[in-house]
Structure 1
Amino acid sequence: MSIIVKFIMKKLKYNVCVIGCGPAGFAAAMRSYDFGNHVCIIEGNNVGGAGIADGALSSKTMWELSKDFAMANRIDRGYRASNISVDYEKVRDNVFSAVREKEYQIRSQIETFSKKEGTTKSLTLFEGWAKFTKEKTVIVTQHDGEVVEIEADDFIIASGSHPRKHPMFEMDGERIISSDHVLKLKKFPREILIIGAGVVGCEFATIFAEFGESKVHLLDSQERVIPFEDDDVSDYAGKMLEDVGVHIYHKATLRSIKKYEQHIDVTLEYKDGHTEVISVETILVSIGRVPSVKKLGLDNIGVSLTTRGLLETNENCKVADNIYAAGDISGHNALVNVAEMEGRFAAKAIENKIKFPLRYRNMSTIMFFNPEISAIGLNEKECQEEKIAYKVVFYKHALVSRAIAMRDTSGFFKIIVSDEENPKVLGMRAAGPQSAASIMYIATLMDHDTSLGEIMKTVHPHPSMTEGIQECIRILLGKSIFKAEAFPQYVSFKSWKPS
Structure 2
Amino acid sequence: MSIEKYDLVVLGSGPAGFSAAMRAIDFGKSVCLVEAQHLGGAGIMNGALTSKAMWELSRDYSIASSVMRGYRASGLNVDYKQVQKTIMQAAKQKQLQMLSQIETYAEPTEKFGNITLKHGWGKFIDSHTIEVKSEKNTELVHGDNFIIATGSRPRPMPDVEIDQERIIDSEGIMNLKEFPERMIILGSGIIGCEFATIFSNYNQTEVHLLDRQHKVIPYEDDDLSSFVSKNLENNGVIIHHTANLRCIRKRPDFLEVVLDYQDGHSKVIEVDVALVAIGRIPNLDNIGLENVGIERTDRGYLNINEVCATDDFKACNVFAAGDVSGHAQLYSVGELQGRYIVEALYGNLEYPLDYSNMSTLMFFKPEVAAVGLNEKACQKRGIPYKVATYSNSLVNRAVAMRAIDGFIKIIVSDDGKDRILGMRAAGPQASTLITSIAYQITQKGTLKDIRQNVHPHPSISEGVQECLRVFEEKSIYKPKAFPDLIKLKSWKPEKVKEA
TM-based fold match above 0.5: yes
Q: Does 1:100 align with 2:92?
A: yes
Encode CA deviations 1:349-390: one digit per residue, 9 max, x unaligned: 222522211101101111000000000000000000111110
Q: 4+ residue stretches of structure 1 with deviation over 3 A? A: 116-120
What letter corresponds to residue 217 of structure 2 in structure 1? I
Question: How many Å separate the matches in 2 of 1:127 and 1:142?
Answer: 7
Q: Which residue of 1 aligns with 2:191?
A: 200
* Structure-2 separation of matches of 1:117 and 1:404: 54
Q: Which amino acid aligns with 1:72?
A: A
Q: Aligned ranges for residues 406-421 of structure 1 at < 5 Å?
A: 406-421=401-416
**Separation (CA, whole Å) in 1 of partners of 2:437 and 2:306:** 26
Match of 1:462 among 453, 457, 461: 457
Name the CA distance, whole Å, in 1 between partners of 2:249 and 2:454: 60
Deviations, residues 101-147 of structure 1 (Å, cap 9, x unaligned): 0011111101100126888621000010001111200010124x121
Letter in 1 for 2:436: Y
Q: Which residue of 2 aligns with 1:22?
A: 14
Q: Which runs of 5+ in 2 are unaligned?
A: 495-499
Report which stretch shifted further, 114-123 or 183-192: 114-123
Q: Which residue of the other structure, out of 361, 374, 380, is the alignment partner of 2:369? A: 374
Contact 2:28 2:111 in 1 (8 A): no
Runs (5+) with no aligned partner, structure 1: 1-8
Q: Which residue of 197, 209, 213 corresponds with 1:218?
A: 209
Structure 1 counterpart of 2:448: 453
**8 Å contact 1:393–1:492 — kept in the other structure?**
yes
| Matched-pair contact (CA < 8 Å) for 1:21–1:43 | yes
The answer for the alignment partner of 1:86 in structure 2 is 78
Matching residue of 2:497:
none
| 1:383 corresponds to | 378
CA offset at residue 84 of structure 1? 0.2
8 Å Cα contact 2:25-2:114 kept in structure 1 = yes
Q: How many residues of Structure 1 are paired with residues of Structure 2 in the alignment?
A: 490
Shift of 1:148: 1.3
Q: Aligned equivalents of 1:67 and 1:117: distance in 2?
A: 45
Matches of residues 129-148 of structure 1 in structure 2 within 5 Å? 129-143=121-135, 145-148=136-139
Q: Which residue of structure 2 aligns with residue 6 of structure 1?
A: none
After superposition, the Cα gap between the structure-2 partners of 1:461 and 1:116, relative to the gap in structure 1 and judged at 3 Å, is: closer
Residues 258, 266 of structure 1: 8 Å contact kept: yes
**Corresponding residue number in structure 2 for 1:5:** none
Distance 2:419 2:366 in 1: 27
Q: Deviations over 1:261-307 (max 9, x none)?
A: 11000000011111000000000000111110112011111111111
Q: Which residue of 2 aligns with 1:188?
A: 179
1-side partners of 2:55 and 2:283: how far apart? 26
User: Which aligned pairs between 1:57-68 and structure 2 lie closer than 5 A?
Assistant: 57-68=49-60
Q: Say if 2:167 is the partner of 1:176.
A: yes
2:146 to 144, 155, 165: 155
Aligned equivalents of 1:53 and 1:441: distance in 2?
30
Q: TM-score, normalised by structure 2?
A: 0.97
Letter in 1 for 2:116: T
What letter matches 1:439 in structure 2?
A: I
The partner residue of 1:276 within 238, 245, 267 is 267
Residue identity matched to 1:355? E
Secondary structure of the structure 1 residue equivalent to 2:286: helix
State yes or no: 1:287 paired with 2:278. Answer: yes
- How far the C-alpha of 1:459 sits from its partner, in A, is 1.1
Letter in 2 for 1:252: A
1:456: Cα distance to partner? 1.6
Inter-partner Cα distance in structure 2 for 1:420 and 1:486: 28
Partner Cα separation in structure 2 for residue 84 and residue 461 of structure 1:
36
Q: Deviations over 1:214-236 (max 9, x none)?
A: 00000010110000000000000
Does 1:481 find its partner at 2:486? no
Instruction: Indicate yes or no: 2:105 matched with 1:113.
Output: yes
Partner of 1:232: 223
8 Å contact kept, 1:171–1:178: yes
Give the CA deviation at 1:308: 1.2
Q: State the alpha-carbon separation in 2 of the partners of residues 169 and 197 from structure 1.
A: 17
Flag the 1:299–1:460 CA change in 2: closer, same or farther, 3 A: same
Q: SS at the partner of 2:120?
A: strand
For 1:430 and 1:301, the matched residues in 2 are separated by 44
User: Is contact 2:166–2:274 with CA below 8 Å preserved after alignment?
Assistant: yes
Question: What does residue range 294-333 of structure 1 map to in structure 2 within 5 Å?
Answer: 294-320=285-311, 321-333=316-328
What are the superposed Cα offsets for residues 61-114 of structure 1, whole Å, 9 maximum, x if unpaired? 000000000100011111111010000000000000000000111111011001
Range 263-272 or range 298-307, more displaced: 298-307
Letter in 2 for 1:208: F
Taking the aligned partners of 2:447 and 2:284, their CA distance within structure 1 comes to 46
Q: Partners in 1 of 2:9 and 2:258 — Cα distance?
A: 48
Question: Residues of 2 paired with 1:255 and 1:110: CA distance?
Answer: 48
Contact 2:386 2:490 in 1 (8 A): yes
**Helix, strand or coil at the partner of 2:453:** coil
Identity %: 49
Q: 2 CA distance for matches of 1:146 and 1:371?
A: 49
Tell me how far apart the structure 2 counterparts of residues 20 and 115 of structure 1 sit (CA, whole Å): 21
User: Which residue does 1:4 correspond to in 2?
Assistant: none
Looking at structure 2, the residues matched to 422 and 335 of structure 1 have their Cα atoms a distance apart, in angstroms, of 31
The answer to whether the Cα contact below 8 Å between 2:26 and 2:112 also exists between their aligned partners in 1 is no
Structure 1 residue identity aligned to 2:181: R
What is the deviation of 1:451? 1.8
Contact 2:361–2:370, Cα closer than 8 Å, also in 1: yes
Cα pair 1:10 1:147 within 8 Å, conserved: no
Task: Give 1:422 shift.
Answer: 3.4
Cα distance in 2 for residues equivalent to 1:136 and 1:346: 17
